[in-house]
Structures are given as C-alpha cells and as structure tokens.
Structure 1
Amino acid sequence: MSRLFKFLPHPDYAMKFSFSVVYAILASVAVNIFYEPGKIYSSGLTGIAQIVSTLSETWFDIHLPVSLTLLLLNVPLFLIGWFKIGHKFTIFTGITVVLTSIFMQIMPTEVLTTDPIICAIFGGAVMGAGIGYALKNGLSSGGLDFISIAIRKKTGKTIGSISIIFNFFILLAAGMLFGWQYALYSALAIFVSGKVTDAVYTKQKKMQVTIITRHPDQVIHSIQNSLRRGITIIHEAEGAFRHDKQTVLLTVVTRFELPILRQAMREADKKAFVSIADNVQILGRFYEEEL
C-alpha cells in the first residue's frame, strides 16, 4: 500500500484515500451485515437506494443491486458538491462513493442476527461512525451529505440533526411501501446513526472560551499562532478577592480544536483561569476550514 501512495501527487491525497477505504468498509459492514438481514433501511441516499432496489425486485422482478443504485443516485448530487462545497471535497467524495459501492458488492451478506432491534442499533452505530469519521477527515459519504453540509453552513445546525429531518421522509416511504414495523426499526437505526455522527464529527461543535489572565499578550500570541480564531479583549477586569487587575479574553473554538487550545494555554500562561461553555450557538461570521 505504501508503494501505491508514492505515485499519488500529494501526501494528503494518500491519507484521504485511506480514509475513503475505512468509510467504505464501515458502510458495507453496516448495510451487508446489519441492515440487509434485519430489513433495516439506512439513512440518506443509501436508504433511498435500498428502497429503489427493493421496489425493482418486487414490482418488476429485476435485481438491481443496492451498490449500483447508490452509485447512480449520487451522480447528479455531485454537482451540488462541486459548486457549493469544494472541488477537492467532491472528487474525494466520488472516490469514496465508488469504493463504497465496490465493497458493498464484494462483501458477503453475513447473517449474525435477524433481530431488527439489534441490527438497527449496531448498524446505526457503525454507519454513524463511518459518516462522522469521513466528515471529520474532510470527506463525505455522498448523497444527502452534500445537501446537509450546505444547509449547515447557512444555518449552523449539526449534520446529525439535519440528516434526521431528511430521513423522516425515507421512513415514511419505507413504512408505506413495506410495512410500518420496518419504518420504526429504521427510525431507531437513523437516530443512532445521527447521534454517533455528531459524537465523532466534533468540528461542528462550538465552544465559548473565557480566559482570565495577567499575561494577555503572550496568551493571544500563542492562541493565534496555533488557531485561526478572533479574540475579544476586556481590559481592567478586577478580581473580587484580591482586587488585582487582570484581562479577560473571549474566543470561540470547536471541540476538535480544544486540545490545541489547551496546549497553547500551557505554553503561554499555566496559571490563567479558563472557563469553557460547551456547544454554544453562533450568529455571525465564524471561520470554518474549507472541506
């Protein structure tokens, strides 16, 4: 594998290719080992591909593999990614979708259990981990992820919550076509998948940081050398116990950036008081690295 990476034009591309392989394996495990045996319909375009595949076999007696259906349905949505999100992101998402389709086709459907609750929970967890892992590393599983990311950039909502809204309509279709019990179990899988996606994809979670320090210049220099974040300065703050003068610094980081912030504070001022408010909402400009 290392010899293959030498022929790629940039080391980052080799890493992204490896991330694509990991996601493809996780998605294939979720679909072939948990969703298909339990008759669970997945979130996003994978769920739509499953519905189309089932309908083609039930109504027209044509076996249309989920892997091929998924690949075909993704093609028009690549245009959204190309123009609204980023070219490199879309190219590697295309690679991810192709790899996922290949792995779904060649991976055998291993029946560990047909219990729909077990299949929904474990399948949703594996699928959510795959989606979150892909997004965390600048990739996407394709399909509705393109639309979800575009909406997140406009509204600030999390990927998982947006996906749950979209997938409500997939549940309606599955319930009306194949029975409401399948919709209920699929809803459980989609809920688990969305929560695991949010737990893994920490770049979307904002945290407000309040820093009280006697060395504001060193702290600001250390943070801005490590992170691309604005900092608000409040001068002449007074401590109630000793009545000494200090400076208050306010900034917002993502959960993904929190370890970098901690390291910057250790280097600049170990005695500074730092308060962190979890999962805050942001109105206005907030820099996010392009995918």
Structure 2
Amino acid sequence: MKKIAVSHWITDVFYTVLGILFCGFALKSFLIPNSFFDGGVTGMSLLIHEIYHINIAYVIILLNIPFIIMGAFQVNNTFAIKTLVAVVGLGLCLLFIPYPQITSDKLLVSIFGGVFMGIGVGLAIRGGCALDGIEVLALYTGRRISFTVSEIILGINIIIFLIAAIDLGLPTALYSILTYYTASKTISFVIEGLEEYTGVTIISADSEEVKRRLVMELGRGITIYKGERGFLKESFDVSQPVDIVFTVITRLEVRRLRNLVHEIDPKAFVFTSTIKEAAGGVLKRRARH
C-alpha cells in the first residue's frame, strides 16, 4: 500500500509540475506579450496586469488565495495545500523562467495560447490541484443560489471579457474569448482522457446469441442487466423478460458490432454513448488508426 501511495504521489507531482510549466509557457510566450486574456482567475490576473502593470506572478498568487481558502472548506485541506503549492510554483515559474515570445500573430496566439494553457490547467487537475480557483468559487456560490457551476463561471467570464472590451478594445476581447474557448476544450480533453471508447447497449430477443458472439468473436467483456421488453401501445400488458447487454468497444469496432447484432436480430434495439476514459475489465488497447 505504501508503494502504491508513493507511486500516486510521484504521478501527482509530475502532472502538477508539467502543468505549471505549460501554463507558464502559455502566459509568457503567447498571452502576456500580446495583451491577450483567458477566463477565470487567470483572466482577472492578466487584466489587472495589463491595466495597472503589476507583476503577473504576484497578482496570480494573491487573487488565488481567497479561492484556495474556500477550497479547503468546499473540497478538503489536501486539495487546498496542493493548490497553494501549485499556484506559488506558477508564480515562481513566471518570475524566473525566461520563456521566449513565440509569435505576434493574433490568431496563432489565441489558439495556441489557449491550447497550452488548457494542457497546463488540465494536467494540474489530473495532479489533484487547481491552477485557477474560479471553479471553487462557482462551486461555493452554486450551493447558495439557483445557478449551475457552469452558468456562474460563464457569468464571471462575461464580466471579464466586457471589461477587456471596454479598456483594451473589442478585437482583443474577441480574440481572448477564442483563447478561453480553446483552453476550456483542451482542459476537457486532458482531464477526460486521450482514449475514447463507446458504450453500447443492446436489447434483443436473441440476447443469448448476442452475448455468445460478443464474447467469442469480438473478445469483449459484457455486463447483463435484467429487464423486460414489450409494452407496445396496442399490447401494453404484454411483456417478456430480456437480458440487456452492455459492452465497451473502441470507435473503430462500432460498425462491426452493429453488423454482428443486425445479423443475429434485425429488430434489435442498439444505442451507443461516448465514454471518454475507461480502465480495468476486459478492454482491448485502442486500435491504431
């Protein structure tokens, strides 16, 4: 157990340090030299830095402290301590690492600044901490008002971008919105995983044959739910017990599975759902494209 705990700790530290380096690169090589912004606490820090010319490293640390304290109550003390260390690490990174400016092209800055920022924040979250405390604020506020976390974050970011538009011009604000959008999509990609699987649910009168061929031909693990089928409008009182089959496959296997099930039972009800990350069980490695 100790070896597992140490391994997890090393992994968390690795993700966090890598996240700090990526965020520092995004800020100093793309966003800060071109007066671009992001959302959340980072966006507030960039805005204050641009308007009042205060060192961005100090602003990021100071603005995050209230959210770190809030995180101790909303999440736990471990999260708060790890987040404090990560934010201070980001501040030191911005102070002492001489990142070069990569480009002045606004489109490249907005896209790749967002990508690298998203990678950094996503890796830090995978390491068990946060480099931006805005979600802690949204979580805290969401428990006291009727808005969702996403709506609160959106509202805060709208205010940031409106201030940027007034003080620094609409084009800069619009490019910054693109940066934020790119960063948020990249964060989701990093957090939810590089592997994307598809969950398939099959309801068929020939469930025994479906189960056999899924296991024997596709080599997939399956899970069975006990259910009932029927309940049609013209015969609502008529139903039969049925095994509902669930399995997880790669995207490249969806067509093959659909063909296999259709061959067994053309009337089978099959629906799929996206699974961003899966581990354990009987999973094949994702096929190479």
Q: Is the 8 A contact 2:200 2:249 kept in 1?
A: no
Q: Which residue of 2 aligns with 1:86?
A: 76
Q: In 2, distance between residues paired with 1:223 and 1:127?
A: 39
The Cα shift of 1:10 comes to: 3.8
1:277 aligns with 2:273: yes
> % of aligned pairs identical?
24
Q: Which residue of 1 aligns with 2:44?
A: 48
Q: Is the 8 A contact 2:42 2:132 kept in 1?
A: no
Q: Is the 8 A contact 2:28 2:94 kept in 1?
A: yes
The Cα shift of 1:54 comes to: 2.4
Letter in 1 for 2:243: T
Q: Is the 8 A contact 2:14 2:127 kept in 1?
A: no
Q: In 2, distance between residues paired with 1:65 and 1:56?
A: 9
CA RMSD of aligned residues (A): 4.2
Q: Which residue of 1 aligns with 2:282?
A: none
Q: Is the 8 A contact 1:128 1:192 kept in 2?
A: yes
Q: In 2, distance between residues paired with 1:129 and 1:165?
A: 23
TM-score, normalised by the number of residues in structure 2: 0.66
Bigger CA drift: 124-133 or 22-31?
124-133
1:28 aligns with 2:18: no
Q: Is the 8 A contact 2:200 2:272 kept in 1?
A: yes
SS of the aligned residue for 2:103 comes to coil
Query: Measured at CA, do residues 164 and 22 of structure 1 come closer, stay the same or move farther in structure 2, by a change above 3 Å?
Result: farther
Q: Which residue of 1 aligns with 2:226?
A: 233
- Which blocks of at least 5 consecutive residues in structure 2 are unaligned? 216-220, 231-239, 251-260, 276-289
Residues 152-231 of structure 1 aligned to structure 2 (within 5 Å): 163-202=153-192, 209-211=200-202, 214=208
Paired residue total = 237
SS of the aligned residue for 1:247 comes to strand
Q: Which residue of 2 aligns with 1:132?
A: 122
Query: Measured at CA, do residues 245 and 77 of structure 1 come closer, stay the same or move farther in structure 2, by a change above 3 Å?
Result: closer
Q: Which has the larger radius of gyration?
A: 2
Query: Measured at CA, do residues 207 and 145 of structure 1 come closer, stay the same or move farther in structure 2, by a change above 3 Å?
Result: farther
Give CA-to-partner distance per residue, 1:5-24, whole Å, 9 cap, x none. x9xx8442222121110110
Query: Measured at CA, do residues 174 and 206 of structure 1 come closer, stay the same or move farther in structure 2, by a change above 3 Å?
Result: farther
The Cα shift of 1:171 comes to: 0.7
Q: In 2, distance between residues paired with 1:118 and 1:56?
A: 26
Q: Is the 8 A contact 1:53 1:65 kept in 2?
A: yes
Letter in 1 for 2:180: I
Query: Measured at CA, do residues 168 and 105 of structure 1 come closer, stay the same or move farther in structure 2, by a change above 3 Å?
Result: same
Query: Measured at CA, do residues 201 and 143 of structure 1 come closer, stay the same or move farther in structure 2, by a change above 3 Å?
Result: same
Give CA-to-partner distance per residue, 1:127-147, whole Å, 9 cap, x none. 112222222343321321323
TM-score, normalised by the number of residues in structure 1: 0.66
